[in-house]
Amino acid sequence: MAEATADLECRGINKDFGTFRAVNDVSFAVPPGTFFSILGPSGCGKTTLLRMAAGFLEPTSGDLLIKGRSMLNVPPNKRPVSMVFQHLALFPMMDVAANIGFGLRRRGEPREDIARKVDAVLARVGLPDVGSRRIEQLSGGQKQRIAIARCMVLEPDVLLLDEPLGALDLKLREHMKVELKQLQSEFNTTFVYITHDQSEALVMSDQIAVMNHGVFEQVGGARELYYDPKTAFVAGFVGDSNRFSGTIESIRGGKLKARTPSGFAMTGTSAADGLSKGDSVDIFVRPEAVRLALSKPPVSKLANATAGTVDSILFNGANSRVLVRDEATKNEIDVAIPQTGEFAGLKRGDKVYIGWDADQTRCFAAGKS
Amino acid sequence: MTGDRSRLTMILLMAPLLIWLTALIFIPHAEMFLVSMREKVGVRQYEFGFANYATFFNEPLYWNTFVRTALMSVAATALTLVIGFPVAYYIAKMTRGRSKTILFLLCLIPFWVSELVRTYGWMILLRESGLFSGLLQYVGLASQPIEFLYNDAAIMVGLVYTSMLFMVVPLVTTLDSLDDSMIEAGYDLGGTGVSIWREIVIPHAMPGIVSGCIVVFMLSLGNYLTPILLGGKDSLWFTGLIYTQFITRFNWEQGAAFGFLLLALSSFIVWAGLKLSGQTLSRTMGR
C-alpha cells in the first residue's frame, strides 16, 4: 500500500506526552485523491495524529511524509497542508474575502490575482456573492464552506479536517456530509478527516482507519469495516451490534461453538486467528442480521435459533428496531424490523422467534476494548 | 400594584448610582463651572465673564504646561501599552491555571500599598543617595552620585508603573477570548508571527487596547502625586497648577477654569483616540 507517491504517509509514528503514549507506532499511506477518515472515540489519539500532520506537534519518533518529502521539523506555515479546524477558526475581524485571501496575501501574490482566485473558489463552493459579508452574517453551513474554501484556495496537497461537522445540528450535518464528499471529488484533493461519528466516516470515506488507544485497529473501506471487522473494538464501534460473551467449547476451522453464561450454545465464526478451546470470547451479531419471525419454522434452520418476547419497539421509520427479551441468552437483543409490512402490528409482549446465521456471528478474543 | 412595586424596586436599586452621580459628579461640576465663570473685579465683587479662561490663553506658562501634560500622558499611555501588551499576551496565552493566577496577582500586588508608598519606593531607588546611584558607583560606572529624580524620565517611569495594571487587565480579558485555533489557523495558512499579530491578534485585542488606553490616559492626565514627587518643582504638571490655584493662591475661580480645561482636554483626546482607532465607547467600555 505504501506507494512512493502517497500524498500523506506515516512511518512508525509515536507521540508521547510525558509517560503517556498518545499515538503508538502508527503507519499508513493515503493515496492521492482519497477521502481518508480516522475514526475513533475521544481520547484515542486521532487529534494528536492530525496535529502532527499539520505541524503543530512533532512526533516523538517515526517519520511523516507529504508527497514523499519528510515533514519533520518543517513548521506549519511551510507545509503543503491546510487544516479545517473543529470550530473552523474563521477570522471574525475580516470579511469573507479577506479570510480566504489571508493565505494568498502571505504568499505575496498580486492583489488582482488574489481577488480572482477568491472569486473562483467562492464560486466553486457555491457561494459566489458572499465575499464582502462578515463572518457572523453567515449560516453554519456557509461558514463550513468558507472554511474549506479558505484552505482550498491555497491548493494544498492534503486537506486536514478536525471534526468540522461536530458543531452543526443534525439536519445540517446530514446535508454537509454529502456536500463535503462532493467538494472533495470536485477539488480532487486528498482529504484526511477525523471524527468520532461513525456515520460521517462511513458515508464519506474511501478509506477509514479505526483508531483506539493510540493504535490503528483496522484500515479499510466502509463495507470492509462493517462486514468484516478484524477486532472486537471495530466490531463494537462501527455500526450497531448485539454483544454476547461466551466460552469456546469446540473449534474447527473458522467455525466454533461457544456457551454463553446462561447456557446457550452459540454457533459462530472466529474473526481472528489464535482462538482455542476454553478461551473467553466476545460475540457480535448485527441487528439486521437477526431474522425475525412470528412462527418457528422460518428460523429453525438457522444455526442459532431462539424465541423471546417483545420488550419494546423503537420506531424510527425505515430504521425501526425491536428489543426482544430472549429466552435462551436472557439478553435483550436488538433486532431490525424488516419493512415488509409483516410486522406492522407488532406490539409489546408479543412472542417472536429469532435466529441468525453462524457467518453473521463474529467471535473475538475477550478482554480487548 | 405590581407595577408600583417594581417601580419602587427600580428606584431603590438606582438610588445609590443616582445619588452618586448627582451629589459627587453633577453638583460639584455645575458649581465649579459657575465659579470658573466669575471675574473678580474688586474685593468680594464678582462679575460674570470669561476672564479666567482668557488668563489661561494669555499666559504661555499655563498652556505650555497644559500641552506638555497632554503629550506626556499620551507618551505614558503608549509606553504602558508597549510594555503591557507582551505581558498581557504572556499571561493570557502562554500560561495556564495556577501560574496564570500567580502572574496576575503579581501585577496586582503593587496596588496593595498606597500610591504614596509606591512613589516613595521609586524615590529610594532613583535619588542621588539611592540604590541605582550607589550601584553604579560600586561597579565603577560612575565616579560621583547621580541624581535620577526630578526629570521627565522619572515622571514617565512613575506614570507607567502606576498605570500598568489598568492596561494589563483589559488586555488579558480580550486576549483570553481569542481562540488559540485562530492563531494556529493563521500559521497553518502560511502566516508568520508578525502577520498574525498584525492581522489577527491586534485587531482582536483592539477593544481592550482602546479601553486600557483610555483608562491609563485619564489616570496619567489627572495624576498629581507621581509627577510632583518624582518630577520635583519643575514637573510642570497641569494638576499641579490647579492645586496651586486652589490651595496656595486661594484663586478658586482660576482653579475651576483650569479644571474645566483639563476636562475638555481629556474628553477631546479620548474622542480623537476612538475616532482614530475606529472604536466606539460602548464597544470598548461596555464589555
pLDDT (tens digit, 9 = 90+) per residue, A20-34?
999 999 999 999 989
Confidence at residue B277, expressed as pLDDT on a 0 to 100 scale: 82
**pLDDT digit string (tens) for B2-33?**
678 888 898 889 999 999 999 888 998 899 88
* Confidence band of A369 (pLDDT split at 50, 70, 90): very low
pLDDT given for residue A99 in this prediction:
92
| Nearest neighbour of B181 by CB, restricted to A55, A89, A150 | A89
Q: Does B287 score more than 70 pLDDT?
A: no
- What is the reported pLDDT for A1? 44
d(CA A243, CA A258): 13
Please give, rounded to a whole number of angstroms, the shortest distance from the CA of A56 to a CA of chain B.
8
**DSSP tag of B222:** T
Hey, which residues 149-208 in chain A have their CB within 8 Å of chain B? Answer: 150-151, 154
What is the fold, at CATH topology level, of the domain defined by A240-365? OB fold (Dihydrolipoamide Acetyltransferase, E2P) (2.40.50)
pLDDT at B149 over 90: no
Nine cell digits for residue B60? 504661555
> What is the DSSP annotation of A202-230?
HHH-SEEEEEETTEEEEEE-HHHHHHS-S
Find which of A171-185, A328-342, B76-90 is predicted with most confidence, using mean pLDDT.
B76-90
Q: How far is A2 from chain B (nearest CA, A)?
A: 26
Nearest neighbour of B200 by CB, restricted to A78, A81, A91: A91
Q: Where are the domains of chain B?
A: 52-285
pLDDT at B285: 65
- ipTM for the assembly: 0.80
**Residues A224-273: tens digit of each pLDDT:** 999 888 888 998 888 888 988 888 888 887 788 888 888 888 888 887 77
Strands A304-314 and A351-356: antiparallel
Q: Do B191 and A87 touch (CB under 8 A)?
A: no
Query: Is residue A363 scored above 80 in pLDDT?
Result: yes
What pLDDT, on the 0 to 100 scale, is given for residue B160? 92
Q: Please check whether residue B184 touches A, CB under 8 A.
A: yes
For A290-300, the pLDDT digits (tens) are 999 888 888 88
Write the DSSP symbol of residue A88. B
**pLDDT tops 80 at residue B43:** no
- Check residue A3 and give its pLDDT: 47
Task: Say which residues have a Cβ less than 8 Å from residue A68's Cβ, sequence separation at least 6.
Answer: A4, A5, A6, A9
Q: Convert the pLDDT of each residue in A174-232 to its tens digit.
A: 888 888 888 898 888 999 999 998 888 998 999 999 999 999 999 999 999 998 888 88
The per-residue pLDDT of chain B, averaged, comes to: 88
Radius of gyration (Cα) for chain B, nearest Å? 23
pLDDT at A84: 93
Average pLDDT on A57-81 reads 91
Long-range contacts of B230-235 (CB under 8 A, 24+ apart): B230/B119, B230/B122, B230/B123, B230/B126, B230/B149, B230/B150, B230/B154, B230/B155, B230/B157, B230/B158, B231/B150, B231/B151, B231/B152, B231/B154, B231/B155, B232/B149, B232/B150, B233/B150, B234/B150, B235/B150, B235/B155
The partner residue sitting opposite B204, judged by closest CB among A55, A93, A102, is: A93
d(CA B120, CA B128): 14
Least confident range of A153-157, A275-279, B40-44, B165-169? B40-44
A8-233: in CATH 3.40.50.300 = yes
Least confident of A194-208, B73-87, B233-247: B233-247
Shortest CB distance from A87 goes to which of B179, B200, B204?
B179
Q: What is the mean pLDDT of residues B111-116?
A: 85
pLDDT of residue A210: 93
The domain defined by B52-285 folds into MetI-like fold (1.10.3720)
- Any A CB within 8 A of B200 CB: yes
- Contact criterion met (CB < 8 Å) for B179 and A86: no
Q: Is the minimum CB–CB distance between A107 and chain B shorter than 8 Å?
A: yes
Answer whether residue A2 shows pLDDT above 70.
no
Mean pLDDT across A109-136: 91
The answer to whether the Cβ–Cβ distance between B185 and A75 falls below 8 Å is: no
The residue extents of the domains of chain A are 8-233, 240-365
Q: Residues of B numbered 10-39 whose beta carbons fall under 8 angstroms of chain A's beta carbons: which are they? A: none
- A94 at B interface, C-beta within 8 A: yes
Q: Is the pLDDT of residue A161 over 90?
A: yes
Per-residue CA distances from B219 to A20, B62, B161, B167 (Å):
51, 20, 12, 11
What's the pLDDT at B70?
Answer: 92
The yes-or-no verdict on residue B280 having pLDDT over 80 is: no
Q: Name the residue among B179, B191, B204 with its Cβ closest to that of A89.
A: B179
pLDDT class of B148 with cuts at 50, 70, 90? confident
Distance between CA atoms of residues A88 and A148, nearest Å:
9
Asked if A106's CB is within 8 angstroms of B184's CB, the reply is no
Residue B199 and residue A91: Cβ atoms within 8 Å? Answer: yes
Q: How far is B61 from chain A (nearest CA, A)?
A: 45
Which of 164-183 (B) contact A at CB < 8 A?
A: 179, 181-182
* B286 band by pLDDT with thresholds 50, 70 and 90: low
